[in-house]
Structures are given as structure tokens and as C-alpha cells.
Structure 1
Amino acid sequence: MERLETAMADVGPDACRIFHGRGGVDEAWKHVVIDWYRPALLVTLYADRENSADWLTQLQTMAEQHEKIECLLVQRRYQAGAPVERIFGEAPEQATESGLSYQLSLEKNQNHGFFPDMKPGRDWLRERAAGKRVLNLFAYTCALSVAAVQGGAQQVVNLDQSSRSLAVGRENHRLNFPPERCRSVRYLAHDLFKSWGRLKRLAPFDLVVLDPPSHQPGSFVAVKDYPRLLRRLPEVLAEKAEVLACLNAPELDDTFLTELFAEHLPQAKFSGILPQPTGYEEAEAGRRLKRLVYRLEG
């Protein structure tokens, strides 16, 4: 409770992680993460432990008395369907980050529509997007696209198999920009490898984001499909294009991506790793969410 009180003292309007047990820094709490979506705390449990009821009761008491907290939710990812229990209050329908708003569905889905851990990627895009053509692969709800538009992108193409996710992405753009700016954004609800010809017709792109699922049969399996993707990527890249390559797979360390690029896209040179956002401390740095930057040369 003391650690949570300290973390809550510093939170503002932006969505963020305030407790990252999954990082393994504290073995006893590896099954717990807590996120802030103003004005709600979302507790996510990845295992059932004997003492959970006790500390959740303490957390509820603290939350009910805290001036910033108006809602408390608990998601049990270890149960079928990852159900979310609303302890008190009304769940917010939007998240905020860097002055932008994003649709949330905290009580409906295992994934809530917005991932705070990709803030470094959104910051990176915003800083580089001015006048650029951006390709956002595995776009989900297009949060990265919103950041690119805010940064002045000339055009953004979002591709994802889920038309439902892209519909939320459209709404995210409408939340933040007037219609004339939204017209520079396209949404393709297609399978990536079956739609490569269409991407080639829309190319070249100056900035490309790769943020695929790590293991989603029928869509993308990293160990099999990341090499395929990198081999084809030069077909849609502009001269000196930059690529942000991401992967959320704790079982694979950073060398998984660096070795793939060296073998399958050697003309792209490693530029660096984006920093971890505040609150995501990891016991093993190589197991964190990967955010590697490459630049095309030659």
C-alpha cells in the first residue's frame, strides 16, 4: 500500500502503469500489475494466490479514500475470458496521453484498446512524422497513427485483420482531429501477406511500424512470420526509411530481432532501442517489450 500511495502521488491525467509485478523485480508480486486510467485503477491478476483477497480489501479501502481515484476494477486473466469485476465507481471510456484521447473498453475485452507501454513508440513517431508517409502494420486501434497525425504526417496507412479494431481506430482519430486531417488516414482490414500488392501500390513509406502479436495462429506467429515480413519489407520502403520493430514476447530476448534483421534485412542498420516508459521496471531487460529502431541505408 505504501508503494501504491507513492506512485499515486505522481500520477497525472496520462494513462500509465503504477505497479509492474510482471517485470519480476519482486518475485512475490509477479502475478500483479496495476494501471492508471484516470480516474480509475485497473488491477490485473495473472494467478490466483491465497492472500489476494486480503490485499485487495486493503487496496479498496485506500482507493475509496483517495482523492484521485473514482473507480476500481479487477481483471482476472487466469480465468476463462479474463473477466473484469468493477469494485466501485464508473469505468472511464477514454484514456489520455500527451494531450490526445483514446477509446477504452476496460470492462469488455481482455485487451482494453490502449497500451500505455507503447508510449515511447508514439513519442518516437510524433517527433519524426512531419511531412512523412507512415505505414502502421498490425495497427489494432491505431493509437500510433493518432500520434503520427499529431506529429504532422502527410499520410498514414493502418493495416489490421480486425475491422472492429480499425473502427475504434477511426473513432480515435475523430476524437482528436478535424475531418480534413482525418482524411489523410487510411484503414485496411486485410491479412498482411494476402494484401502485399495493395501496400506496394500505396508505397513508398518513410516510417514503418511493426507491432505484431507474438503468437496468434491464423494471423501472425513471430518465429515463422517475422522473417517473411522483413524479407518483403524493402518493397514498400522509401530511401532512408526508418523502421520501428516491436515484439511483446518475454520468451524471446532482443537478439531475436537483431539476428532477424541481420539475416533478412541487412541493408537496414540498427539505430537504437527506445527507452522503457516509467513504471515498467524489468528484472531481465532483454525480456521486455522490444522497441528497436532501424534505418535503411544504401
Structure 2
Amino acid sequence: MTEPRMFDAERLERLINDARGGEPDSRRLLHGRGRCYPGCEQINVDFFNPVAVVTLYAESAEAHLTGIMKELKCLQPSPLEALVVQRRYLAGAPAEWLVGVMPESWYARRGSLRFALTLDGQQNPGFFLDMEPGRRWLEALAPGKRVLNLFAYTCAFSVVAVAAGAERVVNVDMSKQALARGRDNHHINGLDKRRSEFLPEQILKSWSRIRRRGPYDVVILDPPSFQRGSFVATRDYAKLVRRLPELLPAGGDVLACLNAPELDTGFLQQVFAEHCPQARLLERLPGSEDFPDAEPERQLKLLHFTYPGVSG
């Protein structure tokens, strides 16, 4: 009896062939968490050339590891030099290198841009693949703009915006370590350091310092959905939205992000309607094709609002 394939064979072969020809963009190979692949609901597989990262969310998913490794090894000649498995169902989400060793320098790649990665004691390597539609949106909008990047993490939005010609990007995050990695990402890509700033601040308590560096043409709201002691979307998202009139001039744009499967698009629309009624929803950005979901409302939500302000 033939074992079921874990991956879309044609798509995976195309990706591997692209890798042989140069430096392919980093991609998700298998998005089991979207529940479109029966039996793989507790597995994700990502490709950061030349490393594949397998993430397991339940002990039962261990049974699929052999099949995953077999399929990836069958792609010969293959650019894959290493395979790491991260077990999210265990405390601390430990990572184990099953094939090869961790490269001295390991990057996510997006066109000509690179973003440093690490799994040492981290749940996330430092680059969110599902945010690509948001990065494309910002890349098109950024030239000549002043951008505020709230909950900046490792500043991928900022790297993309500065590389696209943004006048200035202010990155704000409570984690000094994440911002240090963000600063390194700008340096890795040879970007003008005068066009980016990094503020280690508790955002909900630091509006005066954030406002002083404005006004902004683009504001990105990308908070965690739930971070104990820091941010809870159902309670705190409104606190961000009601500040927008202080930050944006007439005609400014907002990208409101929400990665909470239990909250739908209607949640964000209601928050804006109540706390910044002048803002107008233009579109929900389409999700990444690499992240199919049986229930689209459980996907990452990326809503583009415009703030027309008050004409004088």
C-alpha cells in the first residue's frame, strides 16, 4: 500500500528547483494547522534555504516525522542541508537538529533581503512567513512615507519599508532583545541607519514619546493576540485604535493585524467603528497562498483602513 504524500509534490519540486537556481524566498511547505491536509493538523513545515523546519504541536504528530524526512530526502539533488524539528507541545518548545547542523548564519530570504534567524531558546525563529501579504502592501505604499511600526518584533516591516524608500520608520517594541535583532536586520541589508529608529517602550504607556516622533503617514498595528501582563486583544486593541487620530494626518493609512483564530474580522471592524469612527475600511488583504485554511476567518487578519481626518 502506497503511503499518502505529505506535500503537494508539484509545488515542492518547483520550490526545490528554484532553490537550485539561486536564493529562493523562504516559504511554508506544509500548513497542517490550517486543517486542509487530513492527518497533518498538528504539523507545519517551513523552508529557509538550506534548512527545513518541522514544527510539531502534539505528540501524536511524531508519527509523521519519518514520512516527512523521506519525502524531503527524495528530492535529489536537493539544496536541503539540514532539518530541525521544534516540539511546541513541550515546555520551552525545544528544537532538535535531525539532519545536519545549525548553520553559523541562518536567514529568512525575501527577494534580495535577508532576516537573521535563531531557534535558541525561542519559540519563533524571528520571521513570520504568513505576514507576507502585509509586507507586499507596505512595500507598495512606503516610498517617501513616515511609518510607525508598533509591536515591531525583529522589524521585518521596517526593513521592507526602508528598502522600498520610506522616509523614516519608527519601530516600537517592549523587547530590547527583539529590537536589537531588528537593528541587526537593517545592518545585514546595508540600509541607511538614519531612516530607522528603535524605541524599547511599553506601547500602552508611552504614547507621548511615540507621538512626538510623528505625525506618520502609515501606522502598523501588529500586537500579540494574548501576552500575559502586556497585551490582550479583546481588552487592549481598542486602546491602540483610539490613539490613531493623534498619530495620523488626514489621508493616513493603517494596517490592523490580528493573529487570533478565535476572533474574526468583525471584531476589528467593531473596534474601529467604536473607537475611531472616522477610519474607513478599504480591504482585507488576501491571505498567503502558503497558508490555506479550512476556515478563512481563523487565518491571520490584515485589514487596511484609511484615516481621512477632518478637512479644514
Same fold (TM over 0.5): yes
Q: Distance in 1 between matches of 2:80 and 2:8?
A: 12
Determine the structure 2 residue equivalent to 1:237. Answer: 248
Determine the structure 2 residue equivalent to 1:165. Answer: 178
Q: How much has 1:119 moved relative to structure 2?
A: 0.8
Determine the structure 2 residue equivalent to 1:279. Answer: 290
Determine the structure 2 residue equivalent to 1:132. Answer: 145
Q: Does 1:210 align with 2:214?
A: no
- Structure 2 CA distance for partners of 1:173 and 1:188, relative to 1, 3 Å: same
| TM-score, scaled to structure 1 | 0.95
Q: Distance in 1 between matches of 2:102 and 2:166?
A: 32
Determine the structure 1 residue equivalent to 2:21. Answer: none
Percent of residue pairs identical: 47
Determine the structure 1 residue equivalent to 2:62. Answer: 52
Determine the structure 1 residue equivalent to 2:113. Answer: 100
Determine the structure 2 residue equivalent to 1:151. Answer: 164
Can you give the 5+ residue segments of structure 2 that lack an aligned partner in the other structure? 19-23
Q: Distance in 2 between matches of 1:107 and 1:202?
A: 34
Q: Distance in 2 between matches of 1:103 and 1:213?
A: 21
Give the alignment of 1:218-237 within 5 angstroms: 218-237=229-248
Q: Does 1:15 align with 2:26?
A: yes
Aligned residue among 196, 205, 215 for 1:194: 205
Q: Distance in 2 between matches of 1:59 and 1:287?
A: 26
Q: Distance in 2 between matches of 1:173 and 1:120?
A: 20
Give deviations 1:245-295, integer Å, cap 9, x for gaps. 001000111111011111111111001011111211011111110100000
Contact residue 151 and residue 223 of structure 2 kept, 8 A: yes
Count residues in correspondence.
294
RMSD after superposition: 1.4
| TM-score, scaled to structure 2 | 0.91
Q: Distance in 1 between matches of 2:218 and 2:142?
A: 8
Aligned residue for 2:174, secondary structure, equals coil
Q: Distance in 2 between matches of 1:72 and 1:123?
A: 28
Give, as a single letter, the amino acid of the residue that structure 1 aligns with 2:246: E
Q: Distance in 2 between matches of 1:94 and 1:72?
A: 14
Contact residue 7 and residue 29 of structure 2 kept, 8 A: no
Greater shift, 207-216 or 57-66, is seen at 57-66
Q: Distance in 1 between matches of 2:9 and 2:252?
A: 44
Q: How much has 1:4 moved relative to structure 2?
A: 4.8
Q: Distance in 2 between matches of 1:21 and 1:129?
A: 33
Aligned residue for 1:169, secondary structure, equals helix
Determine the structure 1 residue equivalent to 2:39. Answer: 28
Give deviations 1:141-193, integer Å, cap 9, x for gaps. 00000010011010100000000000000000001124xx1211000001002
Q: How much has 1:27 moved relative to structure 2?
A: 4.1
Q: Does 1:64 align with 2:73?
A: yes
